[in-house]
Chains A and B, each alone.
Chain A
Amino acid sequence: MVLTLGSCDKMMDIQSSTVEFESDNQLNSANDSVYTMLGILKSMQSVADQTVLLGELRGDLVNVNANTSSELQAVANSTATTDNSYLSPKGYYSVINNCNYYLNHIDTTIYKGSKNLMKREFEQVKTLRAWAYLQLAQIYKSVPYVTEPITTVSQLNSSYPKYSIDQLTDLLVSDLTSDLDNGTCYAVPDYGTFSCGTPNYSSTEKVVASQLCFVPTAVLIGDLYITRGDASKGDYENAFKWYLEAIRESNICVRNYQATAYTSGKNTGTYSGGNWSNIFLTSNYLSYDEMVSVIPMAASSTYGTTTQLSNLFGFDQYATTKTYLTDRQIDASGQWKSLCAGQKYCYLLSNDIYGYQNGDMRQNASMYNWNEENLSLVNKYEAGNIILYRSALIYLRLAEAANRMGHPGIAFAILSEGLNSNTLQYANYLTNEDRSILSLFQSSVFTNNVGVHSRGCGSIGGKDSIYVYNKEIGGRLSSKNSYTLADTVDVMENMIVDELALETAFEGHRYYDLVRIAKHKNSSNPDGTSDYGSKWLNGKLSWKTSIKMSNSDNWLFTYPVK
């Protein structure tokens, strides 16, 4: 009896073969760390839908309909309250807590011998944590900042400081840059290829390269700076620098993926196809050069976490044959459709003779026309993947930063002709300073860079192009007698906003893009008022919500307090 008394804690200790106790997951071997990393990626999947829905529904590119659940309607109207499940920050903190556990337990001595691998992983965990904080900071005004892993209930009694993007940017950037490899970011880890299972309607297995499941650190730093957008702190310069760094590190190019029109015959000028839609419809992301970062979702629930997005937009991802749904809950908005219709598609009729047609072909490429039901359904989620970053988006962000730095010409080059050595040489709207900033693009790596706008509007870079710097800028400022650089920046920014809509609609960025740019517009006021951006945002969204966006206090939700 005395013996048993002496070692009660050991005697009462239990072991389990179905779970791993905290004491057993000490991350002191490479295996432990990989498993924990995969656990973090699993957490990312659980916030994928929420991220897209919160980012897209409140924006001006989608609309709800009679089938939309009241929770999604509330999100779309910006009237969601704390009990709305889409407004729960829990999933993001799941990512953060699992990251915190990793970062606080990883045994730094195991860097030795496998320096690169472990360092890459370590940096990536920091980046994913920062990604989660960036999402939170785009949803809520301020959010609790936690860097210690929470493993006991008693830890929850402590109060964590709450920060907005203004404070988070410095904290997160300094964390992300504290440990760089000679000023360059580490490449993302490579665990080979992940299988997402075989969709029921197909016989082809869906696979994704593991590198694509991570977020390049430089992109995220760029995002943090541009989201804060404080010119006085050099945020635009910093954002530009880091986006450029990301492009350099991974040779990111805007390739010639086009949504094209027929150039002859009686359908001339109408949508014919092209390879732009493959960006979304392909289910295999192995080394797809447009793709920078995705959250791949399982082909069906048998294979893991699935997405609801395809069903919400009207495609039954899980049927045995490709099936579209009349009871979809999210539609493309009229605003988006008329924006698309307002573009000019340019095509070569014959030698040096160009034809023009109204409309951006990316509209058709983003939609499935279901003639039987007389419906057009957004098809960007048919492959069931959530794209976080792709080349065009990063270049558009680069354009946004360059423009705000006072280089609208660079921004226009990204939209129209693409950053390549040819553009640098011939584009007359580029200043010498622009050219020196863009020296990276002299490299032959970027020879194939095209302008983002050309992806849906055809040969706009051609000799007879109507998408010309002076015409576009001048046309938009025609009401003014003279205009300043600030005016040019403002209209260039609007062109970027439109291009974001044309290129990246429905991908979950829209509302954050609008809010970010409204904030930029508020801080540099071409019309002399301090709420120029707020009014602009209100104008964009007044058709869909009764919430006054002219009051910037209404832009973000208040962090739900339980």
Chain B
Amino acid sequence: MKSIRLYTTIVIALLATVGSKAQKSQSDSLNMVSGVVYDAATGSVLDGVSVQAFNDPKYSTMTADNGKFYIRVPKNTSMLYVKISGYNTERVTIKQSGKVMTVYMNSDKFTGKQHSEITLAATNGMDDNNGAALTVETNIENSMNADVRTITRSNTPAIGGLMFIRGINSLYSSTQPLVILDGVMMDIQEDATSMHNGAYNNILSTIDPTDIEKVTVIKNATTLYGSKGANGVILIDTKRSKSMVTRIDAQVYGGMTFEPTTLPVMNSSQYRLYLTDLMGTVSNLKQTSFHFLNDTPYMTDGKITNPYYWTYHNNTDWTDCVYRTAYTQNYKINVQGGDDVAMYYLSLGYTNAESTIKDNDFSRLNIRFNTDVKILQNLKTRFDVSYAHSTRDLRDDGVSSDLTSSPISSPTFLSLIKSPFLSPYIQDANGNFTKTLSSADDFFSEIGTNNSLGNPVSILTNGEDNNKNNVTNNQFNVSVRPELQINKNLVLSELFSYALTRVSQRYFRPQTGMPEYSISETGVSTNLAKSSFSKETELYSDLRLEWNAKHDMSKMKVFGGMRFSSFNFDDNSLSGNNTGNDKTPDISYSLKYRSMNGEESPTKNLAYYLDGDYSYADRYFAQAALTAETSSNFGINASEGMKFLKVRWALFPSLQFGWMASAEPWMKNIMAIDELMLTVGYDETGNDRINTLASRAYFTSVKYLNTATGLQLSNIGNDAIQWETSRRWNIGLRSSLLNHRLNVNLNVYHSHTSNLLTKKTLDDVAGLGSYWCNDGALSNNGFEAEVNGIILNHKKWKSEIGLSMGHYKNEVTKLANTDGTLTVDNKQVRGFTTSVYGDDNVATIIGHPVGVFYGYKTAGVFSTDADAKAAGKNGTYLYQYSSTNAIQQFKAGDVHFVDINGDGIIDSKDKTIIGNPNPDLYGNIHAMLSYKNLSMNVAFNYSLGNDVYNYQRSILESGSNFYNQSTSLCNRWQTEGQVTDIPKVTYNDPMGNSRFSDRWIEDGSYLRLASLKLSYTVPVSLEWLQGLTIWCEGENLFTFTNYLGRDPEFSASNQVLYQGIDTGMLQKSASITFGVKINL
């Protein structure tokens, strides 16, 4: 509170100073500035270049035929703003008065366009990037990866990516940036669940990247966005008409994504040997009912006349049945233009993208109509309507975290583990394939009926229909923004928006070709149908008054306003088993083991904000902002903020300062420096993604026995619940050097987040498990650096290269459940573990980054009995206790787990940190080379130093069940003395050789050629054809990595503790797209 009061005083004092200055206004005295503008490539003069005073566009001129300009500007003007079509806009420092300036303009093929406004926040931007990308995250990853560490979830079309700005700022709440689409806060539903394993319903994919004018990332000073700003902000602006000339753009492009390579798994003969080995370890095995053993002994070829011969004598590569080369097609058209009353931009797009997994297609239809209408001389309005409809076919993808509660239904995972000696189709007596799909296998049902694996081809074939495995998104948005110019200095505006997002999901697991499965404590399921429908409505209003003033050397802008938002998300889902056949996937009362679920999470926010920007002589800049926000999520008795009008208000202040050093008179002679600016800022923001009901006590309706319904107290309210608070310092340096040929930007930050939203265990007397509260803190320290340099700038040849890098170091500094202790390298530390695709394998420990991998260290496999004996204490074997307290010894062929505490027992005290999913460095490398009208753009993205938990490999190399295994299992330990790093195979793995250990932790560093685009602008100038560009883009052409999985980039979930876990989702494969763009 103290800091807030102090802060408010500063803001008021600042405003007062400026106000008093405005009082003693004097008439501007003007300076004459002259110069010549050249094309930097050719050295020839440029005429028709617009030159204006940077701080006041009122003072402007154009260059003459000889490239010269003369302009009178106010005395305080330090910079000019220069622009001409085809070149990057530039800010130019006015060098010593009296001398003729020289200005060099670079082609707009280069990056480095400078803006007409100076922002003090650490921002970066990206203009429209028309390529093959289906969703905006792809472009963000390929051009701003250092600013927004983006992780594409998988190669499923338009599934999008997870985005982290400046590290990880939360533990259990959202870490995703706030997305603002055309000024309106958008809920990207990052925590909504998908019915299909490995899928994510990407709300951002409803925006067609072709419609995007620019994307701006704000990394600090996001106080204006109050309790939603802590994870940074991404502003997406869609295109609007800029000219009255009617213009039609049409684009057609399409391409193919090549069939991905998958992990090498054993073939039939290798698998048979594996099975023999494994079956020897099954206790009490009754071999009487194994078809493949008795009817046709699988060790020999048996008799072909045997009815089971053909069933068990194949060598199927199941991945061929699941993956394919996929095709994509896109059609886009937009029309823009207008007159002096109304301007419009209308666009229509259709996209159809196949996935490289069969029967997993994405299609999108989108319409956008953006208008700007001038109603009166001083009243104008923006009126925008958009609608997008997308559908996708889906199947489960990758390996689910729980392989025992339902039959494995992911065709991609099945294609790896399904026995190679079976085939997808039944053969007739002569061994010819029929069109009949094979049933689920049953060759080891003797050991347990739930071991049976389905036929992945059947899931694809019989699961295909609009009412089976299908997700539909509908998004409708209308917004209006009237703006009233009250007088020269004062503008009143209101942005009102209504958005509706509806998502319907259908899931169906067919019974044909799939095993019956007995669900624990429930019954036998033959097939499964699920359906869910969610709806979110958003009302948004932002009323703003803006005041601009300029006086003498000072310029200032103050705006304040009130923002109200209401998000209401609800979701209803149903599921039922045993529909009887695969033709009737609908959910009805006759289904077995039905379940229903409903959820509604409404939130409302109200914020008042005030922002003052002040600049002095274009050299000194200051910005102060304060937002007071209240939300239905906040508890009335929160410890921060203030109680006012019966609700709790969060207060978020921000102060930013900037110094344009290059505009200082003493720097003006340094010709190499075009621009050099230093910024320093401090801001506070919040994260309000609190469970919407956490502050209230409530009852939920519970089913008592079959038909009765009761009400049970199911939450105890925490009226002290509040937002997470992030406090961030930033020091920035921006420079443009050598006639704008070299741009270097650097930002260093320190941020500290406290009041982490976390779940704490309730005292037992409450009778409930846990409650949400604020406790714990973490910090992120890091930097972002970017260098862009023009290598070649000739008339015909142009070339540029750029490198960006980001780094953060995340550290947990305080935890809620401080009584929890773990051991790290035999030392007690405070922290806790979470089970994520494993048991207690992800740890959050004070002094370490969130979500490190926590498990056993290994030292190979015991080759001999003597080795095994030597490993334990006092010359005995290392041992462990089973779940029933029996002693189990690690012998030859078992993994040598390192007994860190040296007590001879392998138990949880020997666990330690074995990996960290956070990278050391990440970013992009980009390069551009152009020759005349032909240009090539290359974008790499990279991530260095991040560890990966290869969960998929841990299943494929577990050697503990009848799943087909990775070929590395051919090298399993089999005989005394054999030296190998793959342990012996044992059914059900009683020794836990495949437990979570450093065997599954790998270095996930990579450098990927994400995009290589060639485009050629056909020199046409016809009346009906203004422009014609043909282009071709290759994506994911190659990846440098040591990672053993197929792709080091994936995201299993948006949750913090799920980072770096490879669940085998669809891997990236190379694709190539050809396109034509026509301007009429």
A interface with B by C-beta (< 8 Å): 1, 4-6, 8-9, 11-22, 25, 32, 35-43, 45, 66-70, 73, 88-98, 101, 144, 146, 149-154, 156, 160, 191, 194-197, 200, 205, 208, 296, 298-304, 306, 317-320, 560, 562
Contacts and interface: CB of A to CB of B under 8 A. Distances in A.
A538 to B, nearest CB: 24
A144 B765 contact: yes
Given A89-B764, A97-B766, A35 B710 contact: yes
Given A41-B710, A43-B712, A300 B606 contact: no
Given A39-B710, A195-B706, A318-B521, A19 B693 contact: yes
B606 A4 contact: yes
A134 to B, nearest CB: 16
B515 to A, nearest CB: 14
Nearest to A45: B704
6 contacts: A17-B598, A18-B700, A22-B698, A96-B767, A152-B718, A302-B522
Given A14-B602, A18-B598, A90-B767, A151 B523 contact: no
B639 to A, nearest CB: 12
A93 B711 contact: no
Interface in B595-638: 595, 598-604, 606, 630-632, 637
A101 B713 contact: yes
Contacts of B720: 153-154
Nearest to A20: B699
A194 B704 contact: yes
B773 interface: yes
B592 interface: yes
Contacts of B908: none
A70 B885 contact: yes
Nearest to A74: B885
B600 A11 contact: no
Given A95-B767, A156-B765, A560-B764, A302 B594 contact: yes
Nearest to B718: A153
Given A73-B885, A300-B523, A90 B768 contact: yes
Nearest to A38: B710
Contacts, number: 231
Interface string B878-901: 000101111000000000000000
B892 to A, nearest CB: 25
B647 interface: yes
A9 B766 contact: no
B706 A197 contact: yes
Interface string B704-727: 111111111111111110000000
B712 A98 contact: yes
A560 B763 CA distance: 10
Interface string B567-609: 0001000000000000000000000111100111111101000
Contacts of B885: 70, 73
B762 interface: yes
A42 B712 contact: yes
Nearest to B773: A153
Contacts of A153: 716-720, 762, 771, 773
B524 A93 contact: no
B280 interface: no
Contacts of A156: 762-763, 765-766
B702 interface: yes
Contacts of A93: 764-767
Interface residues of B, number: 74
A68 B885 CA distance: 9
A460 B543 CA distance: 92
Contacts of B630: 8, 12
A37 B712 CA distance: 9
B688 to A, nearest CB: 12
Nearest to A40: B710
Contacts of B796: none
B975 interface: no
Contacts of B766: 93, 97, 150, 156
B696 interface: yes
B99 interface: no
A562 B699 contact: no
Given A16-B602, A36-B710, A42-B702, A9 B764 contact: no
Given A9-B647, A21-B696, A152-B719, A146 B884 contact: no
A68 B884 contact: yes
Interface in B502-523: 518-523
B518 to A, nearest CB: 7
B75 interface: no
Interface of A is mostly: mixed
Contacts of B632: 12-14
B706 A194 contact: yes
B834 interface: no
Nearest to A195: B706
A4 to B, nearest CB: 7
A9 B646 contact: yes
Given A11-B606, A12-B630, A300 B764 contact: no
Nearest to B523: A200
A562 B761 contact: yes
B717 A151 contact: yes
B478 interface: no
B692 interface: yes
Interface string B86-130: 000000000000000000000000000000000000000000000
A306 B523 contact: no
A194 B706 CA distance: 7
A23 B853 CA distance: 44
B711 A39 contact: yes
A151 B762 contact: no
Contacts of A150: 716, 765-767
A490 to B, nearest CB: 38
B604 A12 contact: yes
B562 interface: yes
Interface in B737-789: 761-769, 771, 773
Most buried by A among B696, B711, B883: B711
Given A12-B630, A38-B709, A42-B704, A306 B521 contact: yes
Interface in B492-540: 518-524
A22 B697 contact: yes
A103 to B, nearest CB: 13
A516 to B, nearest CB: 24
Nearest to B572: A18
B973 to A, nearest CB: 27
Given A14-B603, A68-B884, A300-B523, A22 B699 contact: yes
B594 A19 contact: no
A422 to B, nearest CB: 41
A298 B763 CA distance: 29
Contacts of B773: 153
A205 B763 CA distance: 39
A11 B604 contact: yes
A148 B719 CA distance: 18
Contacts of A40: 710
Nearest to B595: A302
Contacts of B693: 16, 19
Contacts of A97: 713, 765-768
A194 B705 contact: yes
Contacts of B522: 200, 300-302, 318
B698 to A, nearest CB: 4
Interface in B539-570: 543, 562, 564, 570
Given A8-B630, A42-B704, 8 more contacts: A101-B713, A153-B720, A153-B762, A156-B763, A195-B707, A300-B593, A318-B520, A320-B523
